[in-house]
């Protein structure tokens, strides 16, 4: 008989009861070091006092009123994101997939409104992940996500990630935009080089295309900058963010320049829940912490420490871990044994991780992680690796 929960997630057995900073406590009372962060969502760890206070205060006032009315918290959040980014304007929604959808619609609308309605196609990259809606699985075009859901939404072409020549060659008279993750997450923690991102900007300008970054996973401080593309000194025209933005409260946002956003006129797009007072209270509180003096440099510093420790694991356990990837606290370990087995064994030892493509395990501590907790996580990974390297020990 089918489970009451639709079986899309398999059937995990571990459940949690409460969290505190970088730790989660299972319903059986066991403590886990959480280097999964709910897939890069709980940026400030669990039960962060500032977030708890902000949300509790808003919960007692009111939660929702829809976008039929002004939402001062939403206005403030938008202003803060605009001040700290390339963007002039922000649309709020409830997930990463929706943020990408909004960007895709904005891209089409821009060309339609500026006299090029034939431009509707978007070029994406191999190993990309942009969400699970029909348009975003069509954009990501990974067989494991599209199988059985055809016909796909028309209007997407795909080229190898990191290859500018192939990108140029794929551009046609119907091309509207280039959509890229500055650091691919689900695809295996692959960071685009600064040269590649700069090259994409130049190609987009040359052909009159929009540059659309998907920072749903790599944005909101994960790499040590508020947005990952800042490392390359390149500005997109459109950007999707989500995951970390609400610290665990569901929220997404699509940021755009005025040139793009001004065509998203009243009535052209919308969301019932998007940017409601409760979500914006969460996101404003997250920003209070992330934008405070010294927070992002500290993320970068912790990222350097974690990378150094992970590289130590690769040096010591080359038969188990072959490579460290990523940037800041968005790091991945390429595995020799199956990454799912590594994640399972780490979980057995009290450390939560996430698998990614190309047989990588994601190591995503919360951005508030302490150095001693990084060392604690690495010690568990060391023990897991030793188990793999010594047949019979497991």
Point out which residues bind ligand PLP (CB under 6 A): 95-97, 100, 129-131, 181, 185-186, 214, 216-217, 242-243
Nearer to ligand PLP, 130 or 225 (CB): 130
Write down the least CB distance from residue 328 to ligand PLP, Å: 15
Write down the least CB distance from residue 254 to ligand PLP, Å: 12
Nearer to ligand PLP, 243 or 309 (CB): 243
Q: Which helix (H) or strand (E) holds 34?
A: strand 31-34
Nearer to ligand PLP, 161 or 388 (CB): 161
Distance (Å, rounded) from C-alpha 154 to C-alpha 137?
11
Nearer to ligand PLP, 343 or 380 (CB): 343
DSSP 8-state secondary structure symbol assigned to residue 249: B
Write down the least CB distance from residue 217 to ligand PLP, Å: 3
Structure-token pair, residue 324: 């460290």
Write down the least CB distance from residue 96 to ligand PLP, Å: 2
Minimal CB distance residue for ligand PLP:
96
* CA trace torsion 303, 305, 309, 314 (10° rounding): 50
Write down the least CB distance from residue 130 to ligand PLP, Å: 5
Do 142 and 372 form a contact (C-beta atoms < 8 A)? Answer: no
Nearer to ligand PLP, 145 or 262 (CB): 145
The total of other beta-carbon atoms located within 10 Å of residue 337's CB is: 16
Distance (Å, rounded) from C-alpha 267 to C-alpha 334?
46
Residues linked to residue 122 through DSSP beta bridges, in sequence order: 156, 177
DSSP 8-state secondary structure symbol assigned to residue 129: -
Write down the least CB distance from residue 242 to ligand PLP, Å: 5
Do 276 and 64 form a contact (C-beta atoms < 8 A)? Answer: yes
Question: What are the Cα distances from residue 95, in Å, to 9, 92, 98, 145?
Answer: 18, 9, 5, 17
Look at residues 126, 146, 188, 166 and name the one whose alpha carbon lies nearest to residue 354.
188
Nearer to ligand PLP, 367 or 384 (CB): 367
Write down the least CB distance from residue 99 to ligand PLP, Å: 7
Structure-token pair, residue 121: 């196609």
Nearer to ligand PLP, 126 or 322 (CB): 126
Write down the least CB distance from residue 352 to ligand PLP, Å: 17
Nearer to ligand PLP, 23 or 213 (CB): 213
The percent helix, strand, coil of the chain (3-state, each to 5) is: 40, 20, 40
Structure-token pair, residue 245: 């933005």
């Amino acid at each position: 008989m089918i489970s009451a929960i639709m079986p899309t997630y398999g059937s995990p057995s571990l459940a949690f009861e409460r969290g505190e900073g970088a730790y989660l406590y299972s319903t059986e009372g066991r403590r886990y070091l959480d280097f999964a962060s709910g897939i890069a969502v709980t940026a400030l760890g669990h039960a962060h006092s500032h977030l708890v206070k902000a949300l509790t205060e808003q919960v007692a006032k009111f939660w929702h009123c829809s976008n039929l009315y002004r939402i001062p918290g939403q206005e403030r959040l938008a202003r803060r994101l605009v001040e700290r980014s390339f963007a002039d304007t922000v649309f709020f929604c409830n997930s990463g997939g929706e943020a990408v959808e909004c960007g895709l619609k904005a891209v089409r609308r821009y060309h339609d409104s500026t006299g090029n309605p034939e431009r509707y196609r978007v070029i994406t990259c191999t190993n990309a992940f942009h969400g699970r809606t029909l348009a975003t699985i069509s954009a990501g075009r990974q067989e494991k996500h599209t199988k059985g859901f055809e016909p796909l939404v028309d209007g997407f072409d795909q080229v190898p990630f990191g290859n500018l020549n192939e990108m140029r060659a794929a551009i046609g008279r119907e091309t509207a935009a280039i959509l890229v993750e500055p650091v691919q997450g689900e695809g295996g923690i692959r960071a685009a080089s600064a040269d590649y991102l700069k090259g994409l900007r130049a190609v987009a300008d040359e052909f009159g295309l929009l540059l659309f970054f998907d920072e749903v996973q790599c944005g909101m401080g994960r790499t040590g900058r508020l947005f990952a593309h800042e490392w390359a000194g390149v500005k997109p025209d459109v950007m999707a963010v989500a995951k970390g933005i609400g610290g665990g409260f569901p929220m997404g946002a699509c940021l755009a320049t005025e040139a793009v956003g001004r065509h998203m006129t009243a009535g052209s797009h919308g969301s019932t829940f998007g940017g409601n007072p409760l979500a914006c209270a969460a996101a404003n509180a997250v920003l209070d912490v992330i934008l405070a003096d010294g927070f992002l440099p500290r993320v970068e510093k912790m990222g350097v420490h974690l990378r150094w420790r992970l590289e130590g694991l690769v040096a010591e356990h080359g038969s188990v871990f072959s490579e460290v990837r990523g940037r800041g606290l968005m790091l991945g370990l390429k595995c020799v044994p199956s990454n799912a087995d590594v994640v399972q064994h780490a979980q057995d030892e009290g450390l939560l991780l996430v698998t990614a493509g190309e047989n990588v395990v994601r190591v995503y501590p919360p951005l508030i992680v302490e150095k001693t907790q990084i060392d604690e996580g690495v010690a568990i990974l060391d023990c897991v690796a030793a188990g793999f390297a010594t047949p019979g020990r497991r």
